[in-house]
């Protein structure tokens, strides 16, 4: 069991550049979640998918952020153009969404620094 896989683990980019974060959920899980964590705002849910369909994207900060899940084994979070305030750790998590008592499994995170 490889767990949730995120890439890259670290990303340093300059303001205005496009950033793409990638996530491979645990096989068999039908729900996928993208979070952002900062010291100031804590852990924020950005968007989540169920059966590859976006359910709630109300946490996406603005139009510069977009997320896709083209199939059950892959998701991307894109920021275009990136800004220094986007610097944070971005987590992907997956779970079995068929039962409300099922927990989420988190990936190791991608630490993004926008200069």
Partner 1 sequence: AQSVTQLGSHVSVSEGALVLLRCNYSSSVPPYLFWYVQYPNQGLQLLLKYTSAATLVKGINGFEAEFKKSETSFHLTKPSAHMSDAAEYFCAVSDLDAYSSASKIIFGSGTRLSIRP
104 binds partner 1 (CB under 8 A): yes
**Least separation in angstroms between CB 108 and partner 1:** 5
93 binds partner 1 (CB under 8 A): yes
Contact call for residues 29 and 93 (beta carbons, < 8 A)? no
Helix spans in the chain (H): none
Count the residues in the chain: 115
Give strand pairing partners of 90: 36, 110
28 binds partner 1 (CB under 8 A): no
109 binds partner 1 (CB under 8 A): yes
Nearest to 20 by CA among 75, 63, 62: 75
2 binds partner 1 (CB under 8 A): no
48 binds partner 1 (CB under 8 A): yes
Residues 57-86 that bind partner 1 (CB under 8 A): none
Contact call for residues 111 and 9 (beta carbons, < 8 A)? yes
Which one among 27, 38, 80, 102 touches partner 1, defined by CB under 8 A? 102
Contact call for residues 79 and 67 (beta carbons, < 8 A)? no
Residue numbers of the site for partner 1 (CB under 8 A)?
4, 31, 33, 42-43, 45, 48, 50, 53, 55-56, 91, 93, 97, 99-109
């Amino acid at each position: 069991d490889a767990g949730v896989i995120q890439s890259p683990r670290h990303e340093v980019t300059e303001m205005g550049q496009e950033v793409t974060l990638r996530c491979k959920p645990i096989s068999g899980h039908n729900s996928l979640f993208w979070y952002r964590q900062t010291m100031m705002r804590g852990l924020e849910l950005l968007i989540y998918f169920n059966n590859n369909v976006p359910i709630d994207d109300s946490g996406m900060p603005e139009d510069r952020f977009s997320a896709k899940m083209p199939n059950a084994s892959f998701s991307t979070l894109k920021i275009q153009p990136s800004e220094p305030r986007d610097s944070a750790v971005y987590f992907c998590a997956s779970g079995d969404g068929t039962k409300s008592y099922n927990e989420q499994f988190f990936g190791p995170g991608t630490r993004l620094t926008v200069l």
